[in-house]
A = this chain, B = another copy of it.
Amino acid sequence: MFEPQSVDDRYNFGGASLNNCEQQTVMNSILALRRGPIRYRRNAMIVCEGDPTDYILLIVKGVIRSCKTYRNGSRGIVAFHFSGELFGWSNDPIHSLSAEAAAETLVLFFKRSALLAAALRDGRIATYLLATTTNELRRAQEHSLLLSRLAECRVATFLTDLSTRMGDTNYLDLPMAHYDIASHLGLEIETLSRSITALEKSGSIARVGGRRALFLRDRASLERMSD
């Protein structure tokens, strides 16, 4: 099941509040507990709502959507997670959300109990986990604010945030499907499509090539919509 592979310091644990040296030490302590990686194909279920919270995930490569499925089959996407992000920490014994591969994805696993024990022993590990969770919280808060705004603004903000998060070039190759983006933004895909078209017509963005790639032509105007 698990296929170990060499782990080097390419792994970036995004945004902890420790200094680099400490972060390195913490990272090594944590990585010593790893299992995996495992590869998932697009749309594969990685963690299901209701599964025990025995493992924490670290994304090596790809994109995961964290989502909830309603009775009627519709899906709400709480967040996307990218390479280098650690998530799935919980206080409860079972997951309240599913984690699914939004694209081809490679994932490392960490036993929750081992991490917790390490955290109690070494405050730096706990502090590191606290920092990543605090980051995620802030993202969730900003996202909930976003959902009260107009469709075009939600899309513009999503695009600039995504671009920043993925390396800050103005060429943006959307790694997930439109229907995933739409769910995440609380929109239908038709509205998402229309919003993209509107941004294109206003000159803020341009479609590139045949695939779902975009060029952020006027980032300032996109960001102006987000205030």
Which A residues form the contact surface with B (CB < 8 A)?
Answer: 15-17, 66, 68, 70-71, 76, 78-79, 89-92, 96-97, 116, 119-127, 129-131, 133-138, 140-145, 147-148, 186, 227
Contact = CB atoms under 8 A, between A and B. Distances in A.
Contact of A133 (B71, B92, B133): B133
Contact of A91 (B96, B119, B134, B227): B134
Nearest to A87: B137
Contacts of A15: 91
Residue of A66, A89, A125, A137 ringed by the most chain B CB atoms within 10 A: A137
A40 B130 CA distance: 29
Nearest to A15: B91
A145 B96 contact: no
- The copy count of this chain in the complex is 2
Contacts of A227: 70-71
A96 B124 CA distance: 25
Given A119-B127, A127-B119, A144-B140, A134 B89 contact: yes
Given A138-B96, A147-B147, A131 B78 contact: no
A189 B76 CA distance: 25
A158 to B, nearest CB: 13
Contacts of A137: 133, 136-137, 140
A96 B143 CA distance: 13
A147 to B, nearest CB: 4
Given A70-B227, A78-B145, A136-B137, 6 more contacts: A16-B91, A78-B144, A90-B138, A96-B142, A119-B123, A121-B123
Contact of A123 (B16, B76, B122): B122
A-B interface, 10 closest residue pairs, ranked by CB to CB distance from nearest:
A126-B126, A148-B186, A140-B140, A147-B147, A120-B123, A144-B144, A137-B137, A76-B145, A123-B123, A17-B91
